[in-house]
């Protein structure tokens, strides 16, 4: 069975010298970054991914909730329209 690609998009951005030093400091410290469980980053991309992981998780959850809310509103509107047609 072929393995499905987990990551399909690449995001690249520049950091300032001060930001780079902060990232390197986190790696040198070897201090864990707390996501659902503690993770010790080894590469700069690990640090950045862990820093934004929680925000991304919240954004994904917010998007999913908005979709569910819109679907529920559409179902209520359809049910209301059906009730109005039945009464007419």
What's the CA dihedral at 64, 69, 75, 80 to 10 degrees? Answer: -170
Mean pLDDT of the chain: 85
Report whether 23 contacts 15 (CB < 8 A).
Answer: yes
- Give the tokens for residue 75: 């179902």
pLDDT given at position 88 = 66
- pLDDT at residue 67 is higher than 90: yes
Segment 43-60 shows an average pLDDT of 84
Residue 5 has pLDDT above 80, yes or no: no
Structure confidence by residue, pLDDT tens digits, 27-47: 888 877 776 677 788 888 888
- The model's pTM is 0.55
């Amino acid at each position: 069975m072929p393995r499905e690609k987990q990551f399909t998009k690449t995001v690249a951005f520049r950091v300032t010298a001060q930001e780079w030093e902060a990232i390197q400091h986190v790696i040198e410290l070897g201090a864990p970054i707390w996501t659902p469980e503690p993770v010790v980053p080894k590469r700069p991309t690990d640090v950045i991914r862990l820093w934004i992981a929680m925000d991304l998780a919240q954004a994904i959850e917010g998007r999913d909730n908005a979709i569910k809310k819109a679907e529920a509103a559409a179902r209520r509107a359809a049910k209301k329209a059906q009730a109005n047609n039945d009464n007419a």
